């Protein structure tokens, strides 16, 4: 089975573009690839899904133990002919930017996989070899197995490849040429989502065609052919409760592993759109409002008064509800859009969502509950992640979040039927899925 971690010396090297090019080319070559993303990223997996038409999964060694990461990788790689694991940031960049924990290197080391390093060569030549030698010496084993030159002309590739191989001993398996027609636009939380790019499939074809021509595929196969991981089959029991899950352009930040973990505990997931639908799905025992971009759709969300009213009534009647980040903003009183206009939201929670203009409380943290609630026991601590440019005038006080640098803050609302706050939760390998499903089943039994 072809398996590799796709990493880079730094952000901005074009890992996502290279990942899409590799995945599309492997698909076209009949390898039936699957994809993974290192770190707490929602957007890059959307591009993987658009290329493959199958789910992409996050693997995160801050959120999960090595045992859980190995299980998730083995289960979701099973039956595929290739697996591409896209790293985050620079190769060794992990917690707080000062640790290799939860870095792409840590993931490669945990899974024992070879690494293909994406290098953008503009502005340097022989110095690239020195940088690569430094990466190879920084940790043992370094796991680096090959180099892919990105945004590199054929002439530059022919000049650099022999030199890099001589100076580093790492094979250069090919290059991707400059492809401005395949560029993917960005905004405040990173790349635009895959669903927002009208000509995405054409861009993917351009990337695939280029990769098939400019990568040495026999050499690629020789470097990255590894024994397939052994996996226990994933079992999904018959569903015993329906849980509504918001899914549209405004609410699109969900981990595939979270949804699968809910299914494994007996949930039937009922997707709905707070933008388009006028009522919640019928006969539900729970409601999940994930993160996304509600600030970009504030006017449309506000105009859907029937849905806002249905959500408010359901939550206030005790429907077990989880609302993360964007979902939390939706449950507030009002939400400011990108132009500074304010719109009414569901009105369940006291806060007003306001634009800040920069990242707020960004990064990994540990979340500790102050009291028993639907999802948490008093004193229990779980890893979380925050990533938002908007804030609330009332963030809640039912939890304490602590970053790796010691900074702490109060946040979140929780009771016997609610979790709501900016922190994104990672559910796989935790007690949360069972607790949410249990609360949903109890609600259905007790509902008059």
* CA dist., res. 388 & res. 369, Å (int): 22
Q: Which of 217, 6, 10 is nearest to 115 (CA)?
A: 6
Contact between 28 and 104 under an 8 Å Cβ cutoff? The reply is no
2-224, CATH topology level: Rossmann fold (3.40.50)
pLDDT at 195: 57
pLDDT band at 198 (very low <50, low <70, confident <90, very high): low
358-369 pLDDT tens trace: 878 878 999 999
Would you call the peptide bond into 59 cis, given omega within 30 degrees of 0 as the criterion?
A: no
pTM as predicted: 0.90
* CA dist., res. 383 & res. 364, Å (int): 7
148-181 pLDDT tens trace: 999 999 999 999 999 999 999 999 999 999 987 7
In the structure, how many helices (H) and strands (E) does the chain have? 13, 24
pLDDT band at 42 (very low <50, low <70, confident <90, very high): low
Domain spanning 241-446: CATH 3.20.20.140: no
Whether 192 has a pLDDT exceeding 70, the answer reads: no
Please, what is the end-to-end C-alpha distance for the chain in angstroms?
54
Instruction: Indicate the SS3 state at residue 173.
Output: strand
Instruction: Indicate the SS3 state at residue 110.
Output: helix
Residue ranges per structural domain of the chain:
2-224, 241-446
Residue 309's alpha-carbon distances to 270, 292, 333, 447, in angstroms, are: 19, 20, 12, 19
Catalytically active residues, by annotation: 325
pLDDT at 189: 46
**Greatest extent of the chain over all pairs of C-alpha atoms, in Å:** 75
Q: What average pLDDT does this structure show over 234-239? A: 88
Contact between 407 and 414 under an 8 Å Cβ cutoff? The reply is no
pLDDT at 128: 95
Q: Which of 415, 412, 406 is nearest to 386 (CA)?
A: 412
Q: What are phi and psi of 223, to 5 degrees?
A: -80, -35
Contact between 393 and 352 under an 8 Å Cβ cutoff? The reply is yes
Which residue intervals of 317-417 are DSSP H helices?
326-330
Instruction: Indicate the SS3 state at residue 106.
Output: helix
pLDDT at 95: 82
* Fold match flag (2-224 vs 241-446): yes
* CA dist., res. 400 & res. 384, Å (int): 11
């Amino acid at each position: 089975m072809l398996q590799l971690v796709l990493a880079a010396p730094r952000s901005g090297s074009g890992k996502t573009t290279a990942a899409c090019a590799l995945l599309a080319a492997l698909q076209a070559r009949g390898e039936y690839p699957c994809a993974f993303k290192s770190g707490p990223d929602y957007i890059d997996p959307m591009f993987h899904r658009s290329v493959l038409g199958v789910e992409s999964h996050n693997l995160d060694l801050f959120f999960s133990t090595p045992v859980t990461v190995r299980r998730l990788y083995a289960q979701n790689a099973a039956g595929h002919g290739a697996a591409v694991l896209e790293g985050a940031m620079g190769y060794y960049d992990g917690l707080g930017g000062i640790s290799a924990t939860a870095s792409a290197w840590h993931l490669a080391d945990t899974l024992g996989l070879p690494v293909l390093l994406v290098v953008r060569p503009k502005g340097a030549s022989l110095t690239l070899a020195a940088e690569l030698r430094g990466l190879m010496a920084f940790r043992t084993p370094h796991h680096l197995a090959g180099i892919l030159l990105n945004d590199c002309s054929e002439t530059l590739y022919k000049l650099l490849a022999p030199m890099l191989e001589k100076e580093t001993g790492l094979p250069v398996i090919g290059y991707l040429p400059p492809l401005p027609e395949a560029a993917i636009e960005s905004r405040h939380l990173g790349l635009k989502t895959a669903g927002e790019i009208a000509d995405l499939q054409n861009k993917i074809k351009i990337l695939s065609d280029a990769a098939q021509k400019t990568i040495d595929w026999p050499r690629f196969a020789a470097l990255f052919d590894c024994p397939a991981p052994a996996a226990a089959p994933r079992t999904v029991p018959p569903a015993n409760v329906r849980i509504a899950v918001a899914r549209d352009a405004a609410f699109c930040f969900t981990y595939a592993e979270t949804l699968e973990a809910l299914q494994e505990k007996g949930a039937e997931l009922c997707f709905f759109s707070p933008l388009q639908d006028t009522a919640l799905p019928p006969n539900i025992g729970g409601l999940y409002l994930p993160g996304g971009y509600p600030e970009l759709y504030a006017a449309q969300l506000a105009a859907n008064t029937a849905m806002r009213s249905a959500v408010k009534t359901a939550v206030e009647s005790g429907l077990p509800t989880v609302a993360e980040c964007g979902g939390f903003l939706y449950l507030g009183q009002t939400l400011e859009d990108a132009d500074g206009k304010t719109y009414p939201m569901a009105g369940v929670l006291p806060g007003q969502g306001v634009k800040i203009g920069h990242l707020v409380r960004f990064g990994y943290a540990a979340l500790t509950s102050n009291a028993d609630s639907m999802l948490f026991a008093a004193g229990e601590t779980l890893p979380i992640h925050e990533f938002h440019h908007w804030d609330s005038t009332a963030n809640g006080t039912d939890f304490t979040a602590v970053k790796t640098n010691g900074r702490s803050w109060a946040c979140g609302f929780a009771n016997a039927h609610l979790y709501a706050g900016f922190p994104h939760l990672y559910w796989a390998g935790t007690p949360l899925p069972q607790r949410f499903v249990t609360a949903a089943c109890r609600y259905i039994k007790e509902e008059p």
